[in-house]
Structure 1
Amino acid sequence: MNSLSGDAFATHLAGVFEHTDWIAGATHASGPFASVDALHEAMMAVVRAADEATVLALLRAHPELGGREARTGAMTAASTGEQGRLGFAGLAKDEQAMLEDLNARYRDRFGFPCIIALKLHRNRASVFAEHRRRLVRDRATEIAACLDQIAVITRGRLDGVVSDARDGRSA
């Protein structure tokens, strides 16, 4: 990764953050990176240094859990895989109605989707409980929580991109 030009670096890491490719480009200047951990920390430092409007745009770039994007196949491959592991694309009617309610209440309260690192959950019931728990927080706490969840999500995605690069596969 360290040997890539700025444009190649940004292109290779473009999918790590959901529809927010500029983060990879802004991180390149911080290199070289001693490890994948160092690269991820630099990427998250770019996010945490961004102004509020930019952070909100990042949060809003994420799909809702089991939302319209999931039902219509309009999510990124990474999000499709993450939500697919727990079956969010094919929920039963009662679960879909409950999730739509949770998503709407959360978006109305905070102005962005509830971002949950699904890899930290064994089943949908755990995700639903987390979604409900986070609905009562204040906005600043929830923005910070979403950034923490994005850190977990992107670390996993970055591992995949770096692994593919080591194996000679393109991103």
Structure 2
Amino acid sequence: MMIHAMSASALSQMDQPAFVAALDGIFEHSPWVAGRAWPQRPFASREALLDSLVDTLRSAPRSDQLALIRAHPELAGKRAMHGALSAASIREQLGAGLLACMPEEFALIRDFNTAYKAKFGFPFVIAMSGLWRGDIIAAMARRLAHEPEVEFAEALAQIARIAALRLAERVAD
């Protein structure tokens, strides 16, 4: 679904505030990623833009990376149940069936969310495209066994995948 069919070339011509506004929501509540990638213009393609954004994320101080991970909502959590998610997060969680779980599935996800956050200090993040709630529950169980550094890297990799999916909705090839 194309929300705004912008080109990488058009984005490259924007001033920094317009560029950051155009990419709002690509990284959950973290406009700093686009702001720091902006000086790397021009972008020859959506792929080049994504590479720049992901490089910016990967080279950011750990504290900024952690803040970005923590900006993501818990899956099927209180914010989801009260409609307090970004439009992109609502679409993604609806698409994976997370907002229509059976009570026992909600309880299982809640328990995994609690254990995950206690172990790692941030919410479980996963790119949900193509996944159903059973896949996500299985991934939660599997990733809960990771060591903290492995899971930190996995969370960043999942955020990069989410950004790629969101960018594809907004920026033409």
TM-score tier by shorter-chain length is over 0.9
Match of 1:160? 169
What SS does the aligned partner of 2:73 have? coil
Higher relative contact order (Cα pairs below 8 Å, separated by 6+ residues): 2
Distance 1:120 1:105 in 2: 25
- The runs of 5 or more residues in structure 2 that have no matched partner are 1-10
Coordinate RMSD, CA, aligned: 1.2
| TM-score, structure 1 normalization | 0.92
- The runs of 5 or more residues in structure 1 that have no matched partner are 167-171
Match of 1:169? none
How much has 1:142 moved relative to structure 2? 0.3
Match of 1:96? 106
Aligned length: 163
Alignment map for 1:2-151 (pairs within 5 Å): 2-121=12-131, 123-151=132-160
Distance 1:7 1:65 in 2: 31
Letter in 1 for 2:133: R
| TM-score, structure 2 normalization | 0.91
Which segments of structure 1 move beyond 4 Å, counting only runs of 4 or more? none
Distance 2:130 2:62 in 1: 26
Contact 1:70 1:88 in 2 (8 A): no
Question: Kindly tell me: are residues 150 and 133 of structure 1, through their superposed partners in 2, closer, same or farther at Cα, counting changes over 3 Å?
Answer: same
Contact 1:71 1:90 in 2 (8 A): no
Question: Kindly tell me: are residues 120 and 145 of structure 1, through their superposed partners in 2, closer, same or farther at Cα, counting changes over 3 Å?
Answer: farther
Distance 1:99 1:55 in 2: 24
Percent identity (aligned): 39
